[in-house]
A and B are shown apart, each in its own frame.
Chain A
Amino acid sequence: LAKTTQPISMDSYEGQEVNITCSHNNIATNDYITWYQQFPSQGPRFIIQGYKTKVTNEVASLFIPADRKSSTLSLPRVSLSDTAVYYCLVGAGTSGGSYIPTFGRGTSLIVHP
């Protein structure tokens, strides 16, 4: 499994754009990059997933450079309710193989008024 490295914590203010970068130098050819959000005492919630280039949904954007050794989760115009822990996961399953989702410590984002 590709190991991921993220900042432990980040601070931002309401209305700002937040970019959280995840390093995954050992990413394999068939690995996908997935981001989850977790609020205290709740289960993680899927935010976005991508393989290469850029993916955008109603919540966030995911930027993946050509070498795929890192990825950046972009949250536009954050609000107080975006205060949470954000996890970057890398991995995939192949036919006959297995995918073991491994959560690291994540990035604790605090949004200030």
Chain B
Amino acid sequence: ETGVTQTPRHLVMGMTNKKSLKCEQHLGHNAMYWYKQSAKKPLELMFVYNFKEQTENNSVPSRFSPECPNSSHLFLHLHTLQPEDSALYLCASSQDYRVAGGNEQFFGPGTRLTVL
């Protein structure tokens, strides 16, 4: 247990569906992240939130829409996805996005997404 939970753990959706991924951290952290990990590829940073404000959007298509209502919760809303969006979606948190020095991230178990 890392203190970061993600639901659902597995999700199968059609290209016309709308679904949401949820992430919750119980660590009192202020920064939260969404990553995408496709098969045989490095983790790709998608979004960063610090103190509920989005600070990074790594050129992610608009069919992925993040939401951060508070520092403990992060959502990723999905709509009209493509089969190539099938991947493991990982959420992470850290103490602060702008700390002097190291910034250890704690990752959730991920959501395995399959787009048909």
Question: A residues bordering B, Cβ < 8 Å?
Answer: 30, 32, 34, 36, 41-46, 49, 51, 91-106
Contact = CB atoms under 8 A, between A and B. Distances in A.
A31 B14 CA distance: 43
B103 A92 contact: yes
A98 B98 contact: yes
A105 B42 contact: yes
B99 A93 contact: yes
A30 B97 contact: no
B104 A93 contact: no
Nearest to A44: B107
Interface residues of B, number: 30
Nearest to A104: B42
Contacts of B97: 93, 98-99
A89 B2 CA distance: 19
A36 B4 CA distance: 16
Contact of B102 (A41, A45, A49, A94): A49
Nearest to A101: B105
B21 interface: no
Nearest to B90: A43
A51 B4 CA distance: 26
